[in-house]
Amino acid sequence: MTGDLLQRIVIVQAAERLQGVVRRTPLAPFSCADERVELRLKLECQQETGSFKARGAWNQVACLSAAERAAGVVAVSSGNHGKALAWAAQRAGVRATIVMPADAYPNKIAACRELGAEVLLGATRAEAERLCAERVAAGATLVHPYDAERTLQGAGTVGLEIAQDWPEVEVVIVCCGGGGLLAGCALAIRQTLGRRALIVGAEPEGAPSMKLSLEQGRAVTLERITTEVQGLCPPYAGKLNTEICGLAVDSVVTLSDEEIFAAQRELVLRGGWTVEPAGAAATAVVLARKLPSLALHGRSSSDRLRVACVVSGGNPDPAQIAAVREGTA
């Protein structure tokens, strides 16, 4: 594998397809306790369907052939990708089937159905994968939530917008589940800013699939998942994403669930935004003071480190976000 991969998947091509369809979300200033840091947040919680997933879903649907459009699309998703694909398919007049785990947030299941998708519930991950495979065998096009070129190409437009809106950025922090958003943003930053900015992934300690994959040099499947942060705990990191991150990402930071939930509280209560726990993971790296020490070396309040964090989603469980706002979570 060579650096050629960093140029082959061109993020600006996806940006052209997404123009006028998805929102160009704000890059908003947000204060933090560390006076050495100038922090800005890329608010994908304000995106169509409430998450960055709309970008990859539309990029996928926009690239379908006439035959693929007629056959429909299918995906396995715990929520945000499913909702985004249902939205993109409805907009394009394409039939969508979303296979979801039975323990997915009820609001996310309902959202997929409200957007016209057929929802199939699998009691286990294996059953969900089987149901999806049956639809693919019958002719539907699989739209993978993260381990696919067109998905991560669309997701990468988040990083492209950060680079365009704040070319002076020095650190970009991106949450990581299967790695599609992290890989896509890493491609976008390298294709626009080169190596000037550090790229940092953020993962739960209880599901460190990308960190382990990069350490072992291959995509690994987790034997055990202990995090409660839905959306950041797929059983494996994407193979393509692992390859890209190995070339383009500088480090992956792991966080406790408590640190991620604490960051969510800050974003909800102090920022006033509706953010799900997974959406707060990148910001948690800064708020929990887990920025790479080398990046902060020599910095002061008069020479602050310019850090952008992606707030990836705003579709929390209604009961959970209510408890945050009431101060009981």
In tens, the pLDDT along 272-293 reads 999 999 999 999 999 999 999 9
Among candidate residues 142, 173, 200, the one where a domain is terminated: 142
Same domain flag for 195 and 292: yes
Same domain flag for 47 and 60: no
Name the nearest CA neighbour of 143 among 64, 236, 30.
64
- Flag the least confident range among 42-51, 152-161, 248-257, 320-329: 320-329
Same domain flag for 84 and 106: yes
Same domain flag for 125 and 165: no
**Residue range of the domain that includes 99:** 54-142
Among candidate residues 115, 142, 169, the one where a domain is terminated: 142
When pLDDT is cut at 50, 70 and 90, the band that residue 183 belongs to is: very high
Task: Confirm if 72 and 96 have CB atoms less than 8 A apart.
Answer: yes
CATH of the domain at 35: 3.40.50.1100
Same domain flag for 137 and 202: no
Tokens 């960093």 sit on residue: 6
When pLDDT is cut at 50, 70 and 90, the band that residue 2 belongs to is: low
Q: Is 251 helix (H, G, I), strand (E, B) or coil?
A: strand
Which amino acid, residue 9?
I
The average confidence (pLDDT) of the chain is 95
Name the nearest CA neighbour of 82 among 284, 292, 230, 287.
230
Instruction: Supply the DSSP string of 5-18, one letter for each residue.
Output: HHHHS-HHHHHHHH
Same domain flag for 88 and 27: no
Same domain flag for 192 and 266: yes
When pLDDT is cut at 50, 70 and 90, the band that residue 1 belongs to is: very low
3-state helix vs strand vs coil in the chain, percent to 5: 45, 15, 35
Same domain flag for 283 and 137: no
Same domain flag for 164 and 300: yes
What's residue 231's pLDDT?
A: 87
- Tens digit of each residue's pLDDT (9 = 90 or more) over 83-132: 999 999 999 999 999 999 888 878 889 999 999 999 999 888 889 999 99
Domain count, the chain: 2
Instruction: Supply the DSSP string of 15-57, one letter for each residue.
Output: HHHHTTTS----EEE---S-TTEEEEEEEGGGSGGGBTHHHHH
- Tens digit of each residue's pLDDT (9 = 90 or more) over 132-155: 999 999 999 999 999 999 999 999
Same domain flag for 199 and 128: no
CA angle, residues 76, 81, 83, in degrees to nearest 5: 105
Any idea what DSSP says for residue 267? I
Residues forming a β-bridge with 38: 306
Q: How far, in Å, are 50, 77, 158 from residue 22 at the CA level? A: 11, 20, 11
Same domain flag for 173 and 282: yes
Q: Taking the model in full, what pTM does it have? A: 0.95
Same domain flag for 189 and 317: yes
What's residue 329's pLDDT?
A: 83
Centre a 10 Å sphere on the Cβ of residue 68 and count the other Cβ atoms it contains: 16
Among candidate residues 142, 173, 197, the one where a domain is terminated: 142
